[in-house]
Structure 1
C-alpha cells in the first residue's frame, strides 16, 4: 500500500511539474522548460482538476484545434489555427451546450459563413465574409426565428 501511495505521489509531482514548465513569452510563443518552442498538446486546468484549455502547438505557435471548457467540464469553444493564424471553423456553446456562434476564418481573416444563435438556440444572424470583407446577403431574425431584415453586401466588394 505504501509503495502505491509513493508511486502515485511521484506521478502527480512529475505531471504537475511538466504542466508548469510550459510558459508563454512576450511574443506569444509557448516555451518548454529549456526555453525552446514547444510542440505537442498543451493543457491548463481549473483548481477542481477539470481541463480549462487544450491546445495544439507547433514550434510554440497554436496550430490545429484549441478547445476551451467551462469549469464544469462542458466545452465552451472550439477554435482552429494554422501557424498561429485563425483558420477554419470556430464554434461557441453556452453552459447548457446550446450552440451560440459558428465562424469561419482563412489564414487570419474572416472568410465564409458566420452564424449567431441566442441562448435558446434560435438563429438570429446569418452573415458571410470574403477575405475579411462583408459579402453576400446578411440576414437578421427575431426571437421566434422569423426573418426580419436583409442587407445585401454582394456588390460592395466588387470592382
Structure 2
C-alpha cells in the first residue's frame, strides 16, 4: 500500500493542477482574467483532452504579448504568432501536420504589413504578396504546383 500512495497522490496532483490551469484564466472580449477578476500576466497554456499542449501564450495585463504557439494534438507546432500589446504584430508562421511550412505573414499593429508567402502542402511556393499598413502594394505572384509563374500583378 505504501508504494501505491505516492503514485495515487501524484496522479491526483496532476489532475488538480491540470484542472486549475484550465480554470485560472477566462477570456472576455479579447482580455484574459484570473479567478479574482484581475487582468492576468504570465504564461497561459491550454491542453487537449488527451493532456497534450494545444496553445501556449504570454499575457501582459490581460493582453496577448509576444510569441503564441499553437500545436497539433500530436504536439507538433502548427503555428507561431506574434502580438504586441494585444495587437497582431510581427511574423506569423504556419506548418501543416507534416511540419512543412505553408504560410508566413507579417503584421504591424493589427494590419497586414510586409511580405506574405503561401506554400502548398509539398512546400512549393504558390503565392507571394506584399502589404503596407493593410494596403496591397508591390508585385504579387502566383505559381503552379510545379513552380511555374502563372500570374503577376502590380499594385
> How much does 1:15 deviate?
4.2
The corresponding residue for 1:64 is 66
Tell me the distance in 1 between the aligned counterparts of 2:11 and 2:73.
25
For 2:30, what is the secondary structure of its paired residue?
A: coil
Please state if 1:94 is matched with 2:96. yes
TM-score, normalising length from structure 1? 0.90
How has the CA–CA distance of structure 1 residues 14 and 142 changed in structure 2, closer, same or farther, with 3 Å as cutoff? closer
User: Unaligned 5+ residue runs, structure 1?
Assistant: 154-159
For 2:22, what is the secondary structure of its paired residue?
A: helix
Q: What root-mean-square deviation, in Å, do the aligned CA atoms of Structure 1 and Structure 2 show?
A: 1.3
For 2:99, what is the secondary structure of its paired residue?
A: coil
The corresponding residue for 1:52 is 54
* More deviation, 60-69/5-14: 5-14
The corresponding residue for 1:14 is 17
TM-score, normalising length from structure 2? 0.92
> How much does 1:9 deviate?
3.7
The corresponding residue for 1:156 is none
For 1:144, what is the secondary structure of its paired residue?
A: coil
For 1:129-148, list aligned pairs within 5 A.
Answer: 129-148=131-150
Please state if 1:31 is matched with 2:33. yes
> How much does 1:5 deviate?
2.7
Tell me the distance in 1 between the aligned counterparts of 2:23 and 2:34.
9
For 1:4, what is the secondary structure of its paired residue?
A: helix
Deviations 1:32-88 (A, max 9, x none): 111111111101101111100111111111011111111111111111001111000
The corresponding residue for 1:124 is 126
Tell me the distance in 1 between the aligned counterparts of 2:119 and 2:18.
39
User: Unaligned 5+ residue runs, structure 2?
Assistant: none
